[in-house]
Chains A and B, each alone.
Chain A
């Protein structure tokens, strides 16, 4: 089974702090994603990456950056956390494009971030 692991389930940070959310997948997937989930808004794409050192903005990239130094690891960075970034963050990955493109997306368990 595919395993997507988010290192921190629950975090509490202060406004202005730099926050790192780490995500690791064990299936050699090229494509990785960071979503933010808020009540009534569903999942919104923050950033995604097709390969090492590649990154693309999603729908709500403001206030965030990402790092993909190794294929299995995709980190979300909040340079200066703000209270409106209090949310649940979901990391996900999908198999390479060459495989059946109907394959599902695999999610981590989520990271609850509270910014006070």
Chain B
């Protein structure tokens, strides 16, 4: 099974500053999908951004962008102009088209935004 590693259990950022959350994964596949999900205190999982492995261009969604390094198997999330509402648990996830639609999740990074 694929493994997803988030090495930062907790991170903090000053409001309006930029923060980068790290994620690495282990796979032998060439085609796959990567995601970042946000889980606020309400516990409802929200999709933040997704990246298809065959696309070289890094995905962006407003203040959220990724740095996808396929050779290094790295998929970091950058949050610019951090807002109080960004405080949440962030999960990195991997989806393979070849293993029964399973998603593999990292252990999460808890982000605190300091006013």
Contact = CB atoms under 8 A, between A and B. Distances in A.
* Mutual binders A and B: yes
Q: Decide if the interface of chain B is mainly helix, strand, loop or mixed.
A: loop
Q: Decide if the interface of chain A is mainly helix, strand, loop or mixed.
A: strand
Nearest to A90: B45
Interface in A17-67: 31, 33, 35, 40-43, 45, 48, 50, 56, 59
How many of chain A's residues touch chain B, expressed as a range?
Answer: 20 to 34
A56 B100 contact: yes
Interface of B: 1, 6, 9, 33, 35, 42-45, 47, 50, 52, 91, 93, 95, 97, 100-103, 105-108
Given A90-B45, A109-B42, A110-B43, A97 B101 contact: yes
Given A42-B91, A43-B91, A110-B43, A105 B103 contact: yes
